[in-house]
Amino acid sequence: MKLNKFPCSEYYTVRFFLLWMILCSSPLFAWDSPRSMLSIEKKPFGMADGAAVTLYTLTNAEGNSVQMIDYGAIIVSINTPDRAGKRVNVTAGFDSIDGYLQRHPYFGATVGRFCNRIAKGKFTIDGKTYSLAINNGPNHLHGGEVGFDKKMWGVEELKGDASVGLRFTLVSPDGDEGYPGKLTTVADYVWDNSNTLTLTLKATTDKPTVVNLTNHAYFNLGGPGSGAIYNHELTIDADQFLSVDDTMIPTGQLTNVVGTPLDFTKPHKIGERIAELKATNGYDHCYVVRGKTGQLRRAAFVVDPASGRSMEIQTTQPGVQLYTGNFLQGNPGNANYKTHEAFCLETQHYPDAPNQPSFPTTLLKPGETLQEVTKFAFGVVR
C-alpha cells in the first residue's frame, strides 16, 4: 500500500489552501479593497471652440459618482443615494456639450475671474481704473462675456487612498475681459469615500488684480423631476446679509437677518417665506458666514425631507450667496428646470468688494497666493 507523503492534517490544510486560492481568483469572489474600487473614467463629450471636450466620471468606493467636463471646469452631475439607497443626480446639468455652449445659467461652472457683480464694471488699483464688460443690467457679472465658465481648462487626474479627483488649470492672460495681470488659476475637485466633494481654489498673478472664485452648482436633493425646492429645509450659519440697491449692488450695510425672510439661523423650508421677496422673485442674497474668514467652518446645511438626502457646506470664504433659480424657464436651455426647482449656495467673497473698502479684500498681488476651500458633504437623514 502506497502511503500519502503528507500527514493527514497537513494534506487537508494544503487542499483547503488551494481551494481558497481558486475561489479568491474567481470574479464571483472578487473582494476589492476600497482603493481598487475608486475609479476615474473618461469619454468624449463633444467639441467646444474646436477643442475636444472630455467627460470625467469620479466614482468612490460606495459607487457614488461625480461627473465633470474640462470645458468651464463644470460639474455635470453628483449622484448620491437617498434613505432607500436610490441614487440620483442632485445637480442641474446637460447630457451633451450643446447645453453648455448656449447661454445657460452657469450650471455647475467654475466662475471667474470675479464671481457675482462689480458695480458699473469698474474698479481702481493704484490709481488706475479698469473697465469690464457690462453684462448684467448696468453691472459686470461672473467674469464677463467669456468668463472662466466658457474656457477650456487643463486637467490632471488625482488619486489617493480614499479619494479621486481632478486638478483643473487655467491661465488667463493680462487684459482678459479687461482684468489686469496674467492670472493662473488651479481648481482641485476631490471626491472621497464619505461622499464629500472638496473644492480647493488657488490663484497667482504677475500684476495686482482682483479675484473672486466659486462654483455655481444648482442643487435639488430630490433629483430631476422632483419639482420645486420649497420643502427643502435650510440652515445658514449667518446672522447678517448684505443689503443691496435695486441693481443688486451692495450698499455697504450688513443687515441682521432676525425678523426678515432671510433668517435661516434655524431650519426653515426654502418656500416658507419666498413669496415675500417680490423684488427678486426669490432668494438672491449674499450672507456673512459666521466665524473667521480663512478658517474652514460650516456655512449651510440642507435636508430634503422626502428623500432624506442632506448636504452640508463648509468653507473658508467670507460669504455664501443663496440663489433659488428665480428665472429658470423650464425649457431645454435650462435643462427643463423651472423657477425655484433648484438652488445655489455659492461660497465667495462679497459682491463689488473691489469698490467697498470695508469688505474683505479681493486684491491679489504678485508673490501672493489666493487659496479658498469649500466642502460639499452629502449624507442621509433617516
Domain of residue 210, CATH code? 2.70.98.10
Residue 20 lies in a domain: no
**Has residue 30 got a pLDDT over 50?**
no
Is there a catalytic annotation at residue 216? yes
Rounded mean pLDDT, 62-77: 98
Nearest of 90, 105, 100, 94 to residue 326 by alpha carbon: 105
340 — pLDDT class (breaks 50, 70, 90): very high
Residue with cell 459618482: 65
Beta-sheet pairing, 370-380 with 110-111: unpaired
The verdict on residue 147 lying in a domain is yes
| Of 138, 73, 77, 75, the residue nearest 112 (C-alpha) | 73
Q: What does the pLDDT average to over 137-146?
A: 97
Domain count, the chain: 1
pLDDT at 33: 43
- The residue annotated as part of the active site, out of 232, 346, 349, 372, is 346
Query: DSSP code of 193?
Result: T
pLDDT tens-digit map of 284-333: 999 999 999 999 999 999 999 999 999 999 999 999 999 999 999 999 99
Transcribe 30-89 into DSSP letters.
----HHHH-EEEEEEEEEETTEEEEEEEEE-TTS-EEEEETBTTEEEEEEEE-TTS-EEE
The active-site residue out of 140, 216, 232, 340 is: 216
How far is residue 73 from each of residues 166, 188, 311, 348, measured CA to CA in Å? Answer: 9, 10, 21, 17
Residue 357: inside a domain, yes or no? yes
pLDDT tens string 95-135: 999 999 998 999 999 999 999 999 999 999 999 999 999 99
Cell of 139: 453691472
**pLDDT of 37:** 87
266 and 234 in contact (C-beta within 8 Å)?
no
> Does residue 213 sit within a domain?
yes
Q: Does the pLDDT value for residue 136 go beyond 50?
A: yes
Residue 207: inside a domain: yes
pLDDT of 83 reads 97
CA dist list (Å): 74 to 28, 215, 249: 37, 8, 26
This prediction has a pTM of: 0.90
What is the span of the domain harbouring residue 204?
36-380
| Residue 2 predicted with pLDDT over 50 | no
* 6 in a structural domain: no
Q: Summarize pLDDT for 363-376 with one digit per residue, the tens.
A: 999 999 999 999 99
Q: Is the predicted pLDDT of residue 26 greater than 70, yes or no?
A: no
Q: Does the pLDDT of residue 212 top 80, yes or no?
A: yes
- Please give the share of the chain, as a percent, with pLDDT higher than 90: 90
Using pLDDT thresholds of 50, 70 and 90, give the confidence band for residue 16: very low
Mean pLDDT within 343-355: 98
Q: Residues 224-229: what's their mean pLDDT?
A: 96
Amino acid at 292: K
271 CB neighbour count, 10 Å cutoff: 15
Classify residue 29: in a domain, yes or no: no
- Predicted confidence band of residue 29 (pLDDT cuts 50, 70, 90): very low
What's the whole-number mean pLDDT along residues 224-237? 97
Considering only residues 10 and 266, tell me which one the structure prediction assigns the higher pLDDT.
Answer: 266
3 located within any domain: no
% residues pLDDT > 70 (the chain): 91
